[in-house]
Amino acid sequence: MVATTDKFFWLFVSLLVLCSCSRTETSSHEKYRPQVHFSPAQNWVDGPSGLVFLDGEYHLFYEYNTTGTNPNPRHWGHAVSTDLIHWNELPVALSPEGDKIISYGSVVVDAQNTSGLGTIDNPPLVAIYTLTDYTEDAEGQFLAYSLDKGNTWTTYGDNPVIANLDIRDFRDPKVFWYEPTAHWVMVVASAERRIRIFTSPDLKEWTYASDFGQGLDVEENTWERPDLFELPVANGEGTQWILTLNVGLGAHNEWMTAFFAGEFDGQSFTTTQTAPYGADYGKDNYGGITFNNLPGGRRVLIGWMNNWEYAEKAPTSTWRGSFTMPRDLHLEKMPYYYILASQPVEERTTLYGKTAVVKDLEVTQDINTSGFADVTSKIHFPLLPAELSIRFKTGNRQIGFAEKFGVKLSNKEGEFILAGYDAYHQQFYIDRSHSTLLNLPDKYAGVHVQRFQDDDSEIIEIQLILDAASIELFAEDGKVALTDAFYPTSEYNKLEVFAENGRIQVEKLTVTQLTTILEQ
């Protein structure tokens, strides 16, 4: 009888543990808990892996610690969504073997069953990922597969599919099907700012094809998390192949998602660029990759909304880390280069609630006026989370035109964040120098900018996605993107429009309430 009681006791404990990991148990009232961005119910999370679309569901795999808020040990967490916005957190998908460390990778739908691991009627999901053995200082690329839409996984019996090649930092494979010559392609990061390219007919046997990157970046930079895909030129002709990569601690001492635009022939990638260009110039969009298998040529990217310089010091409680708003990518041709533009996915409109509008507002800073217009009283709902769109009239840039203008979020403690346009230096920016009184690492504070000359336009429109502890800025049809986290001691609840050293006119300010994706 005692043994039976013990069995029921441990069964009860196990059920409690499982429930504690459920998305529905995540409190929407935890301080800094994202309300409209996905974050696991608890524990550490960093970069996304294996983004894939299958049978109406978006699968998000990610680096995850099942036991605490520090980075290791790492597993592959798993969440699914039917709309890219509302996510259902599932049990862990992949776990490390023995003393090894499982790292980033990708997942593909093997629709033609080239691997032989499934059938034509039930094609497998195939994951290829880096497994690191620190006892031997070796990294290889391993394979696992699923025949039930990612719910359970089987480790391939003849791993690794690419053994360690005596290359330092040989990791982060991204795999895709190259239709013109009907084979699989893998791009893998390696030391000395190289991307190595392999091909395979079946996902199991891989052949080295080429490498890319020698001499195209400064020595201090690290390249990781590559992705390779084709995009049409939105305002031009033809297509370009885009190689995204994540650049760590380089010449500007930043972590950044960046890209090259060029040509790919199934074996090698070439470009006329002499260095990678940034895709987001904030501090908190890193490790971004795109979904495989999206219909209609759509390309959606998700990044990790954090930064390695202070990620382990983030002042959250039961969890640490979240993801950016999913972003549709498109390619814009400029006179001498390309811009990888991004905009928040249209599916976010499912979160729209109440709306507040302010029109024809003029703000001036001079000897008699402060340069701030408080519009908080016009907003009859909590300021966060919300989507904000503001259109500034900029056609008449004569004497008295403001050097800087934008919006200010603040709280009763005097903490604040600024987001706007610096007309004098021709750059968009987020200033979080005074965003918190907390004792965070020195590299947290600062002003983050993206240069963009905008002399000829009549209107500058800035779009902001505001969550409990983050701001994402988009402008110029997505050619400008900045992402920053913030950790005020109390919630920002005051919104002002500001002008610095001059006058600015606001044609229209729209604030739209965003309803939480969490259980109340």
pLDDT on residue 23: 39
Domain boundary among 275, 310, 344: 344
pLDDT tens readout for residues 343-398:
999 999 999 999 999 999 999 999 989 999 999 999 999 999 999 999 999 987 77
Q: How confident is the model at residue 112 (pLDDT cuts 50, 70, 90)?
A: very high
Q: What is the tally of structural domains in the chain?
A: 2
Cα 207 from chain centroid (whole Å): 31
What's the one-letter identity of residue 91?
Answer: P
Domain boundary among 344, 367, 390: 344
Token digits of residue 173: 């494979």
Q: Are 297 and 233 in contact (CB under 8 A)?
A: no
Element (H, E) at 14: helix 2-20
pLDDT on residue 22: 38
Identify the CA nearest to 343 among candidates 365, 367, 326, 366: 326
pLDDT on residue 455: 65
Identify the CA nearest to 127 among candidates 225, 204, 46: 204
pLDDT on residue 21: 40
Quote the domain boundaries for residue 226: 2-344
Note whether residue 308 is domain-resident: yes
Note whether residue 175 is domain-resident: yes
The contacts of residue 300 (CB under 8 Å, 6+ apart) are 51, 84, 290, 291, 294, 326, 327, 328, 329, 345
CATH number of the domain that residue 354 is part of: 2.60.120.560
pLDDT tens readout for residues 242-279:
999 999 865 556 788 999 999 999 999 999 999 999 99
Percentage with pLDDT > 70 across the chain: 93
Q: How confident is the model at residue 236 (pLDDT cuts 50, 70, 90)?
A: confident
Q: How confident is the model at residue 520 (pLDDT cuts 50, 70, 90)?
A: low
Note whether residue 332 is domain-resident: yes
Q: Do residues 129 and 43 both lie within one domain?
A: yes
Average pLDDT score over the chain: 91
pLDDT tens readout for residues 275-306:
999 999 999 999 999 999 999 999 999 999 99
Q: Is it the case that residue 495 has pLDDT exceeding 70?
A: yes
What is the average pLDDT across 80-86?
98
For residue 351, what is the DSSP state? G
